[in-house]
A and B are shown apart, each in its own frame.
Chain A
Amino acid sequence: MNPETRSSHHPDPGYAARRVYFENLTGLLLAQGLDGQRVGNLVAELDSHLEMTHADPIEEFGPVGELAESLVASSGGGRPGRYLAAQVAFGVSLGTAGAALLALTSNLPGHGTVTFHASMVANITAIAIGLWAMTAKGGRSRTGRSTISFPPARWFIAYLVFVVGVSVLTSGLNWEIPTAVGWVVLAVSTIASMATLRTAVLLQRIPVPGQASHLRNLGWGWMGR
């Protein structure tokens, strides 16, 4: 849901800016390995501070990327990336499911085997990593109120080059597998992608102490937008 839409019923006019700021902060702290409980505590505390000062979050706390780095460093650093691992695992399993579906739907009647394209798995994984990197970079933006920005065109060119490169490099990694195995791969990878997606969502649903119920279920990075 769009934060602006949610904020239309909130009495505080600065709510939308705060919500965007804290969503970004949450994503960055999780991506840098802070556990959900700690993140919930920090965000609720900062929100409580803003309730009292009525200040703009960027004026009071500075750019969200700098604050996240500072808080992670002060908290003794985080464990790298259960959140990142969940997103990459989601990318891999989705890519595998896509490759299996492609293999099965392109199977000619009467053939006992299907061709499983490894390049699809590689490309979907690259998309997952790229989107995560985009979120992290956007969060470190030093200017402007919105901290998630649309990537510049050169990123898409780089992305296309990367996708084509990966496809060429992995073109020899296609396997002939029995159709029945293809169905099993499709089923397992579909279940895995749903499970990893759910894990990624749960990792961003952080417990918020106190009365800050409006901070529950903070958006979760690129997929929440």
Chain B
Amino acid sequence: MADDTADDLQNRWFRGALEACVLGTLRAGPAYGYEIAGRIEAAGFVRPKGGTLYPILARLEGERLVEPKWMDGDGGPSRKYYGLTPAGAATAEETAQHWNRFANNVSALLGNTVRSRS
């Protein structure tokens, strides 16, 4: 039950951070949509559905933060790989810094709350 609550909470937070996570996964190198979803799942989150993921990729592409390139799959379908552009790499770096500050602030608040209760 407690695990369910924790998963639910994490999934709610994750929805707000998905775009940052996509940028983060691409720091490891170019990837196609399904692979990006797999990297996110491997990081311990629920695998994002295509209906959520592809509009985010379309927006990042429109903002020229990622650059797409079609490549043939190994006997499978062609795949559209996304790589970070220089602007995308800078945004990913900036996002990481903002996230660290945000996470630290939340941790500090939660830590204070815990101390004040004890």
List the interface of chain A (C-beta within 8 A of B): 41-42, 44-53, 55, 59-62, 66-67, 70-71, 73-76, 209-212
Contact = CB atoms under 8 A, between A and B. Distances in A.
Sorted nearest first, the 3 A-B pairs with minimum C-beta distance are A210-B78, A62-B51, A61-B51
Contacts of A73: 55
Interface of B: 32-34, 49-51, 54-56, 58-59, 62, 68, 70, 72-73, 76-80
B34 A212 contact: no
Contacts of A44: 78, 80
Contact of A48 (B49, B51, B59, B77): B77
B76 A45 contact: no
Contacts of A210: 70, 72, 77-80
Nearest to A55: B50
Contact of A52 (B34, B51, B56, B70): B34
B34 A49 contact: yes
B49 A51 contact: no
Contacts of A74: 55-56, 58-59, 62
Of B33, B73, B80, the most chain A CB neighbours within 10 A belong to B80
Nearest to A60: B50
B54 A48 contact: no
Contacts of B50: 46, 49-50, 53, 55, 60-61
Given A48-B32, A60-B51, A76 B62 contact: yes
Contact of B54 (A42, A66, A209): A42
B78 A209 contact: yes
Of B34, B50, B68, B72, the most chain A CB neighbours within 10 A belong to B50
Nearest to A38: B58
A71 B54 contact: yes
29 contacts: A41-B80, A44-B78, A44-B80, A45-B33, A48-B33, A48-B34, A48-B77, A48-B79, A51-B77, A52-B76, A52-B77, A55-B50, A59-B49, A60-B50, A60-B51, A67-B51, A70-B55, A71-B54, A73-B55, A74-B55, A74-B56, A74-B58, A74-B59, A75-B62, A210-B79, A211-B73, A211-B77, A212-B77, A212-B78
